[in-house]
Chains A and B, each alone.
Chain A
Amino acid sequence: MTLSRDDVAHVAMLARLGLSDAEMEQYRTQLDAILDAIGKLNEVDTSAVAETAQVGGLVNVWREDEPRESIGAERALANAPERDGPYFRVAAIQE
């Protein structure tokens, strides 16, 4: 496995991580080494095995859809870096 610089830039964009050139290069070599080590997975025969979905065996967990108290807008907004009245403020996403 050899990751290219473009692969790393693509993954960083998917993850919304702004990385410096030095970080890109560092992660390129480190991820290469880690993915190489992870190749060990292929030594385990899983041809007759299902994926683990929930390790404790729970299936679906339902509850009634009943209205109840929530923390309210003020508390929910209390940590907002930028707010505008009862809203979170963000940069425009459309022209």
Chain B
Amino acid sequence: MAQGFVGRSAAEMAAALRSGEVTAVELLRQAIVQRDRVDGRVNAFLERTDELAETQARAADERIAREGVNAPQLCGIPVALKDVLCLQDVPSTASSRIIRTFRPPYTGTAVQRLLDQGAVVVGKTNCDEFAMGSSNENSAYGAVGNPWDVERVPGGSSGGSAAAVAAGVVPYSLGSDTGGSIRQPAALTGTVGFKPTYGRVSRYGLIAFASSLDQIGPFAQTVEDAAHVYSAIAGHDPLDSTSSASAVEDPFETLRSGVEGMRLGVPREYFVEGLEAGVRQRVDEAIELLRSLGASVEEVSLPSTDAGLATYYIIAPAECSSNLARFDGVRFGMHADEPSLLRSYLSTRGQGFGAEVKRRIMLGTYALSSGYYDAYYRKAQKVRTVIAAEFDAVFEKVDALVCPTSPTVAFTQGAREDPIAMYLCDVLTIPVNLAGLPGISVPCGLSDGLPVGLQVIGPRFQDARVLRVAHAYEQASGAARLRSPMVAEAAP
């Protein structure tokens, strides 16, 4: 079968669906062919939902026939969902053994909003267990290969969702970002990855890792597609009391307004030791391009950046140790049969969780335990205030920040066995979660043949501005839309 739409954007697919050039059922078939062609090498999918997708695609074709150009933008477009997102009755394992058989009794809000648009779900994607990791090597169901070089990691934790887009299986996917888990894999796979402002997208139906940091967002081929997905999933939800009731700006009002006259800040602390020369070069070029488009660029300082990692590695494990207490072997998931309830808890959790999850539960439990709470958790929550205040002060002077997303390009699987070395992957993305800001990674070229990401960060609830800067860069940069070798194979 012709694979003419592999690697194309959702907007291009939407136009072709409306003109009658292609049907949703045909788009689904192409997605399935591409998925099955690459997934032996990539391992992006944990669950394939072909039957459900077939039903959804047929319904989408009927809806497009009925509503024509008024059909929702994402109607009939294939999508993949990170396995921490609940879709009713479809297994959601969070890449963990402990809930290998869990079938959610309900669908989460962000996913439901895509379904309401007529989205076609081709599967659930691999990730680091409970979204804890930066390489997707912590999955109980095997590592994910980067479509640019399958010996290398795709980043994490949303590695499968990133790889599914980079390999041209789907034009967009959903991930979740607690310390960089959308932006970092987007950078490493040459895709666009957007983490909205904390509270913009409902977390209802997202298997919780660290509730004060988690946020759902899209991977896409283009910033325009990311904006469409954001528009679909953003907005208040009474089922998530941390979701903001403030009105969502329409990102399309300013998406194409360019950056002329905008003030962009370059945080000096983000260009530090450990930043690869090739990454630095691509990011410097990207910033120069934004300057040439009429933005003013100035260096700014976020002095406590250096403490971000330490702050995160108290707060996130503390919240995870509490959130993951629910996996008790009683209500869902694995159950180890033991003579007492205590023994059953110990065995179920000891056997069911993987090494990184247990490490973080231990760290978080320690930080919250009697006698250590003030020194660790309370201190970290104060440093978090300092970090957020530094961003707020900088945004008095500049409209947005531009910097690298990841200090390195994709590294070889198995190369970072030391947990602290792995934690450093997210040193440039974590502060954004701590401060609850919107951030996006947009491809800005290759270094040694591997993708590099430019990160754009904005003030809280200025999601549209972040999309606007990223879009201006993407449109001006020929390098922005990168085609992985797996897309090139299918659609030469």
Q: How far is the CB of A84 from chain B (nearest CB, A)?
A: 12
> What are the residues of chain A within 8 A of B163 when measuring CB–CB?
none
Residue B313 CB within 8 A of the other chain: yes
Residues of chain B in range 223-245 having any CB-CB distance to chain A below 8 Å? 238, 241-242, 244
Report how far A11 CA is from B372 CA in the complex, Å.
Answer: 12
Residue B366 CB within 8 A of the other chain: yes
B314 contact from A38, A75, A82, Cβ within 8 A: A38
Q: Which residue of B lies closest to A82 (CB)?
A: B335
Report how far A34 CA is from B362 CA in the complex, Å.
Answer: 11
How many B residues have CB within 8 A of the partner chain?
Answer: 72
- Asked if A56 and B383 make an inter-chain contact with CB atoms under 8 angstroms apart, the answer reads no
Flag A1-18 by CB within 8 Å of B: 1 or 0 each. Answer: 000000110111011111
Q: How far is the CB of B100 from chain A (nearest CB, A)?
A: 11
Q: How far is the CB of A80 from chain B (nearest CB, A)?
A: 6
Q: Which of A17, A18, A92, A93 has most chain B Cβ within 10 Å? A: A17
- Asked if B334 and A81 make an inter-chain contact with CB atoms under 8 angstroms apart, the answer reads yes
Q: How far is the CB of B107 from chain A (nearest CB, A)?
A: 11
Residue B217 CB within 8 A of the other chain: no
- Asked if B345 and A16 make an inter-chain contact with CB atoms under 8 angstroms apart, the answer reads yes
- Asked if B362 and A11 make an inter-chain contact with CB atoms under 8 angstroms apart, the answer reads yes
Interface stretch (choices B27-35, B249-257, B348-356) = B348-356
Residue B276 CB within 8 A of the other chain: no
A40 contact from B102, B306, B369, Cβ within 8 A: B306
Interface stretch (choices B77-85, B135-143, B373-381) = B373-381
- Asked if A51 and B382 make an inter-chain contact with CB atoms under 8 angstroms apart, the answer reads yes
Q: Which residue of B lies closest to A62 (CB)?
A: B241
In the A-B complex, the 7 residue pairs with the smallest Cβ-Cβ separation, listed nearest first, are A18-B350, A18-B346, A81-B335, A55-B436, A79-B332, A51-B381, A46-B382
Which residues of A approach B to under 8 Å, CB–CB? 7-8, 10-12, 14-20, 23, 27, 30-31, 33-35, 37-44, 46, 49-56, 58, 61, 63, 71, 75-76, 78-82, 88, 90-93
Interchain residue pairs with CB less than 8 A apart (7): A8-B362, A14-B365, A18-B347, A41-B380, A55-B212, A58-B241, A79-B333
